[in-house]
Structure 1
Amino acid sequence: MARTPAAEVVAGERSVRVSSPDRVIYEATASTPEVTKLMVAEYVAAAEDGLMRALRDRPTALERWTSGVREGMRLATGPTDRDADAFYQKRVPKGAPDYLETARITFPSGRTADEICPTEIAVPVWCAHMGTLTFHPWPVRRTDDPASLDHPDELRIDLDPQPGTTFSDAVRVAGVARELLAEHGITGFAKTSGNRGVHVYVRIEPRWDFVDVRHAAIGFGRELAARDDQVTTAWWKEERGERIFVDYNQNCRDRTIASAYSLRPLPGAPVSTPLAWDDLAEVTDPATLNLFTVLERLADGDAWATIDDVAHDIGPLIALYDAQPEGELNYPPDHPKMPGEPPRVQPSKKVAAHWDADGNRIDG
């Protein structure tokens, strides 16, 4: 069978070649038609205003589903997971166009990598040609000062529904989070995760490091949990119960969240969609926010159009953390052991005699 010729997608002032344009990326569902690779690239180009507001000048990892999305397919859990159907690309792929710019980021291990740093819409469109569905930007922006990549300009509050809770529960908690932020003089911007969760973003002054911003997220999360008994910051799943988990570790170095206007690898091509707070409260099924519907909303203006107008002081949130007696919480398992961190063992499996006061295991 003859191969379908490549297509060209207009992306800003460039034309981007898209190979295998007829490849089906998302199969049809009861409510949405099938989505081809060309349609994904065209969506990315059309979402320029909102997508570039989320990605511009940010080191960005790519979530690549080169064979499309099918039931049973899975995303690689790490570089040694060779049998997965999709993977994260943290370094610039081979064959990148000469207009693609990079930013050198430092992982928690101290290793470095040159990641894609989008400066124009042609770059995400080329990434779509490479099978990218979801963009994962760091919460930092590249400037002329290399230190800028060590100082986040976003606080990310990830509200993750646990088993027994729903998207509607996350929406309700997001409203409480909005009120709590406002009490500290901070404006939050909401989006759907593209699945069951809700993300609340805050633009912040880029003068704190990753540890400080993570502590601000912990302090805020604990205060939110004190106000609402359906909220938890418990790291271990066995302790979360039927509550909305504030995933504070999404503010760690090298932890990223699907960007605004990113597609998600789920049936129906759902999109992580920014919404005005009143609009979020009316959404009952986030799957209705998808490749076929989101551009209509964006045509009326990006709900996050003013997110860059004010950079907030998160000192009050860090002060919450400092005043709370609980202290440090667990880091992700691939992160170096940090000062004051509790033992990295499930509470139900912890034997107190095997751990010292600083959370270090006692051998012997």
Structure 2
Amino acid sequence: MADALTLTTQDADGKPRQVRLSSPGKVVWPATEQGAAITKADLTTYLSAVAEPMLRGLADRPVTLQRVRGGIEGEEFYSKNPPKGAPEWARTTMVTYPSGRSHPQLVVDDEATLLWTAQMGTVTWHPWPVRTGDNDHPDEVRIDLDPQPGRAFGDVVRAARGLREVMTEAGLTPFVKTTGSRGVHIFAAVRPRLEFLDVRHAVIGLARELERRMPDLVTTAWWKEERGDRIFVDFNQATRDRTLASAWSPRILPGAPVSVPMTWDQLGEYGPGELTVRTVPQWLAEHGDAWAGLHEDPGEIDGAHALWEADLERGLGELNFPPDHPKMPGEPPRVQPSKKVAGNWDAHGNRVEP
């Protein structure tokens, strides 16, 4: 293969654009028993095939790029600042992080920008749940069902269907996709009225209600030592600066699995990792995009937030934030329960100095 290729595509305005693809034969995913190696050129071919539905989830949003050097077996890192050398047609938007710091982040509005990010070593795209016109009020509720070791995928599917019921009762319309790994992602479009913290509380309300209904199957326990073999309902994916892999995005895992939107009837028909960069274009051509209507009729988040309010009245309060997030009011101690000495903490979860 040539040392470089020139890919001809277009930007968001329909203008022809050219993207230089260096080292197109570089291996991104090594060969496995299931198939041959997948190269950088193969990745861009895949992206062009799924660009239309993938851009529905990426366009007009800040995007964090999960990049690799030397393929998936090399160095892996996240780019929040736009990579150097971004083309003049690529757009950015200002975002504010939990620390209060702000800086521009790339927006992937078109196929030209999508292919350029692949040239820069991106393998997985992580869009924020906000639009560039308002980066502080999410327009999507996103929940990650994360199975602990020992749980079968069928258990995750059962938990997902239970969560669908809870969300529907709360007035939301849930959409589901595989993660490309062992879990499931569930999204719902909402009107962007509440800030990140309130949306996170609404997600906690949904998660706790699911936990009450399926206590042996799911958990909201932040600390792994308290989860057992249950499926963790990851409420912290609703926290500012936390993102999930986009729909149709490949994952940095052997075999090049893809996070694929599905109908609720299709969920469970395909095992984790079964749909890959090699097979998804044909799958998309046959089945279409199950998430095409995700934002056609956004719901209201009030019903989910009411679950949080009801739990406050029951005496249930805040849950742990990610470790890189500032300490928040009412947050439990950031120490493993097995290492916690009761006398070292006050009633508000603050450390008491001896």
TM-score band w.r.t. shorter chain: over 0.9
Contact 2:332 2:348 in 1 (8 A): yes
Q: In the alignment, does 2:136 pair up with 1:120?
A: no
Give 1:106 deviation, angstroms: 0.6
**Structure 2 counterpart of 1:276, from 263, 281, 288:** 263
Give 1:112 deviation, angstroms: 1.0
Equivalent position of 2:172 in the other structure: 186
Contact 1:45 1:122 in 2 (8 A): no
Equivalent position of 1:32 in the other structure: 35
**Structure 2 counterpart of 1:321, from 308, 324, 333:** 308
* Whole-angstrom CA distance in 1 between matches of 2:9 and 2:347: 56
Give 1:36 deviation, angstroms: 0.5
Equivalent position of 1:344 in the other structure: 334
Give 1:286 deviation, angstroms: 2.0
Deviations 1:33-88 (A, max 9, x none): 21010111121122111110110111001010121023xx5xxxxxxxxxxx1100
Amino acid at match of 2:24: P
Equivalent position of 1:286 in the other structure: 272
Give 1:310 deviation, angstroms: 1.2
Q: What SS does structure 2 have at the residue aligned with 1:49?
A: helix
Q: How does 1:154-193 map to 2 (within 5 A)?
A: 154-193=140-179
Give 1:167 deviation, angstroms: 2.2
Amino acid at match of 2:3: P
**Structure 1 counterpart of 2:197, from 196, 202, 211:** 211
Q: Which moved more, 1:28-37 or 1:230-239?
A: 28-37
* Whole-angstrom CA distance in 2 between matches of 1:336 and 1:6: 45
Q: What SS does structure 2 have at the residue aligned with 1:103?
A: strand
**Structure 2 counterpart of 1:259, from 228, 234, 246:** 246
Equivalent position of 1:82 in the other structure: none
* Whole-angstrom CA distance in 2 between matches of 1:353 and 1:11: 63
Q: What SS does structure 2 have at the residue aligned with 1:149?
A: coil
* Whole-angstrom CA distance in 1 between matches of 2:167 and 2:237: 18
Task: Give ranges in structure 2 of 5+ residues lacking alignment.
Answer: 11-15
Give 1:120 deviation, angstroms: 1.1
Contact 1:102 1:114 in 2 (8 A): yes
Contact 1:233 1:247 in 2 (8 A): yes
TM-score, reference length from structure 2: 0.95
Q: In the alignment, does 2:309 pair up with 1:335?
A: no
Deviations 1:132-191 (A, max 9, x none): 000011110112xxxx10000010010000122122211111111112212223111101
* Whole-angstrom CA distance in 1 between matches of 2:237 and 2:8: 34
Q: Which moved more, 1:32-41 or 1:296-305?
A: 296-305
Equivalent position of 1:195 in the other structure: 181
* Whole-angstrom CA distance in 2 between matches of 1:121 and 1:248: 32
C-alpha root-mean-square deviation of aligned residues, in Å? 1.2
Q: How does 1:51-200 map to 2 (within 5 A)?
A: 51-70=54-73, 73=74, 85-143=75-133, 148-200=134-186
* Whole-angstrom CA distance in 2 between matches of 1:114 and 1:66: 23
Give 1:321 deviation, angstroms: 0.8
* Whole-angstrom CA distance in 2 between matches of 1:89 and 1:268: 23
**Structure 2 counterpart of 1:250, from 237, 255, 279:** 237
* Whole-angstrom CA distance in 2 between matches of 1:45 and 1:107: 31
* Whole-angstrom CA distance in 1 between matches of 2:232 and 2:245: 17
Amino acid at match of 2:143: I
Amino acid at match of 2:241: D
Give 1:322 deviation, angstroms: 1.1
Give 1:114 deviation, angstroms: 0.9
Contact 2:148 2:231 in 1 (8 A): yes
Amino acid at match of 2:109: T
Q: What SS does structure 2 have at the residue aligned with 1:200?
A: strand
Equivalent position of 2:3 in the other structure: 5
Give 1:104 deviation, angstroms: 0.7
Aligned pairs, number: 344
Amino acid at match of 1:183: E
Give 1:5 deviation, angstroms: 2.4
Contact 1:66 1:132 in 2 (8 A): no
Give 1:32 deviation, angstroms: 1.8
* Whole-angstrom CA distance in 2 between matches of 1:69 and 1:354: 43
Percent of aligned pairs with the same residue? 52
Contact 2:171 2:303 in 1 (8 A): no
Q: What SS does structure 1 have at the residue aligned with 2:60?
A: coil
